[in-house]
Amino acid sequence: MATLPQVAWIGTGRMGTPMAGFLLAAAYPVRVFSRSPASRQKLMAQGAQEAASVADCVRGAQFVFSSLPDDTALREVAMGAHGVLANAPPGAIFADTSTVSVEVSEQIAAEAARRGVAYLRIPISGNAAQAQKGEVTVLVSGPADAWERLKPVCDRFSKAHVYLGTGEQARGMKLVVNAMVYIFAQAMAEALTLGRKAGLDWSTMLDTLSQSAIASPWLKVKAELMKRRDFTPTMTAPLVLKDLDLMLSAARAQGVPMPLTAMTRQLMQMLVGAGLGDEDYLATIKLAEMQAGLPSDRLD
């Protein structure tokens, strides 16, 4: 049996940990670098090797994945004498799953080309619950030949993938997807609050939405959680604010008006101000209920 290629995985948060876990389950040798002791230990219990630094993690790896919170973290991991690009072997593939700006991604692409590393942008569409089931969708852009090499690896932790082009298209597509998710979350909050105020049964409303013309995989997952009033975070308001800022920055640069996105940003800021920033971003339902004079801690 052929030996599977060495994988380096940098960043093991809510998304990175289960995705790396699927590679370990498929017998890939995975070396992990993370600042989260709990998730690092979890992956080591599944067979991962621990790396002392980014440089140590990527040495000799054919495939390098990163799953990071923002521009600053990605720049720090990718660039510099101790980063991915300076230490990965020539010909390696560096695949970043993060939601970050086009500007930072372009800087990394230029440095990767100079270093002889193939750079793929593979932001993930899906939440932590879907990542744990291997049901995320991979949005891909970058060198097509590198993607053909990486695709069998990504198939281990995803249900689908979409190749969008050779440049930064996947970064833009992730913002498009997330803009619709966050705006829809606020629409869902307002609509459910209206129904509840009118006396509709909470569970019946959610079951009806899940069978209606607007049903989607996202809505069905969220409806089941909301029936239990489960606001365990898949994505918190501060992280949503980071994404919304990326969208609005891109909109300003391209001259695109996004009034609903701007309003959604203000509502997410209100969520933080109301002390709900550590809950799932769909706690915007609680905010709408409080504004309507409904108790958000119980259903009457």
Closest C-alpha among 113, 88, 108 to residue 98: 108
Digit-coded pLDDT (tens) for 17-58? 999 999 999 999 999 999 888 888 999 999 999 999 999 999
- What is the Cα–Cα distance from 60 to 215, expressed in whole angstroms? 46
Identical topology for domains 7-167 and 172-291: no
Q: DSSP E strands: which ranges in 115-233? A: 118-121, 124-125, 136-140, 158-163
Please answer whether residues 122 and 139 qualify as being in contact, where contact means their C-beta atoms are separated by less than 8 angstroms.
yes
Q: Could you report the per-residue pLDDT of 94-140, keeping only the tens digit for each?
A: 999 999 999 999 999 999 999 999 999 999 999 888 999 999 999 99
The full length of the chain comes to 300
pLDDT the model gives residue 127: 87
Give 16's pLDDT tier (boundaries 50, 70, 90): very high
Overall fold of domain 172-291: N-(1-d-carboxylethyl)-l-norvaline Dehydrogenase; domain 2 (1.10.1040)
Strands laid side by side in the 118-121 sheet: 49-50, 30-33, 7-10, 63-66, 93-96, 118-121
Residue-range domain boundaries for the chain: 7-167, 172-291
pLDDT digits (tens, 9 = 90+) for 148-162: 999 999 999 999 999
Rounded to two decimals, what is the model's pTM? 0.93
User: 182 near 281, Cβ under 8 Å?
Assistant: yes
Confidence of residue 298 (pLDDT cuts 50, 70, 90): confident
Instruction: State the average pLDDT over residues 78-101.
Output: 96
Check residue 1 and give its pLDDT: 46
Write the CB contacts of 292 (distance below 8 Å, at least 6 apart in sequence): 193, 197
- Alpha carbon 187 to chain centroid distance? 21
Residues 193-241: pLDDT tens digits? 999 999 999 999 999 999 999 999 899 999 999 999 999 998 999 999 9
Q: What is the CATH architecture of 7-167?
A: 3-Layer(aba) Sandwich (3.40)
pLDDT of residue 182 exceeding 50, the answer is yes
Q: What percent of the chain has pLDDT over 70?
A: 99
> Which of 109, 83, 95 has its CA nearest to residue 168?
109
Question: 29, 5, 33, 28: which is closest to 17 by C-alpha?
Answer: 33
Residue 2: predicted pLDDT: 60
Nearest to 277 by CA among 215, 210, 231: 231
pLDDT-derived band of residue 299, with 50, 70 and 90 as boundaries? confident
Mean pLDDT of 63-67: 97
pLDDT of 43: 95
Residue in the structure block whose two tokens are 């300003």: 252
Q: If you average pLDDT over residues 274-284, what whole number do you get?
A: 96
